[in-house]
Amino acid sequence: MIKIKNISAQETYEIRLSVLRNNIDLPFKFEGDEDKRTFHLGAFYEEKLVGIASFMRNRIDVVKGQQYQLRGMATLPEVRGMGAGKMLIEEAKSILKEKSITALWCNARKEAVGFYENLGFKITGEEFEVSKVGAHFKMYYIVS
C-alpha cells in the first residue's frame, strides 16, 4: 500500500536526479525549494520513497487568485501504474484547499498531459519546448 507523507526538499533530490534529470544537464535543486510556503510530498511503498512532488507559490496570468505550482513530480519506474502520482496530487489538492489556494498549475511534459487531464487539469496556451527536456503544456486545476 502506498502512503503519502510530507518530506524535505533534500529527500526529493535523488528521485529528481534519477528520473527527471537522468543524463540531462539541468539543475535538480529548484529555486523556492526552501521557501517556508513550499511543501514537498513523498509517496512511500513498503517504507521506500518511490514518488515525489513539490508545491511552491508561483503564478500564471491565465488564472486569478492565489496559486501554487507543481514542480519536480516523478515516480520510480517500478511503481508506475500503482496510483502513487494520483495520490500525491490528491493530497496536494486537500492541503491547498485548506490553505484557501485558488489554483494549482504545472508545466506538464507532453507525454503526461493525459495523466493530468484525468485529475481535472486543463491545458492553457500552446505547446512549448523546454530545452533538453522536450515538449510541454501549461496546465491548471481550480482548487476552490
| Grid coordinates belonging to 111 | 507525454
d(CA 34, CA 56): 9
Query: Is the model's pTM score more than 0.75?
Result: yes
3, 57, 120, 124 from 138: Cα distances, Å: 28, 16, 13, 6
Domain span holding position 48: 2-142
Strands of 103-109's sheet in order across: 2-7, 39-45, 48-57, 67-75, 103-109, 134-142, 122-130
Residues 80-137: pLDDT tens digits?
999 999 999 999 999 999 999 999 999 999 999 999 999 999 999 999 999 888 899 9
Q: What is the pLDDT of residue 28?
A: 81
d(CA 46, CA 64): 40
User: If pLDDT is split at 50, 70 and 90, which confidence band does 29 have?
Assistant: confident
Q: Is the pLDDT of residue 49 over 90?
A: yes
Q: How many domains does the chain have?
A: 1
DSSP for 20-50, please give it. ISTT--S-SS-TTTT-TT-EEEEEEETTEEE
CATH code for the domain in which residue 91 is found: 3.40.630.30
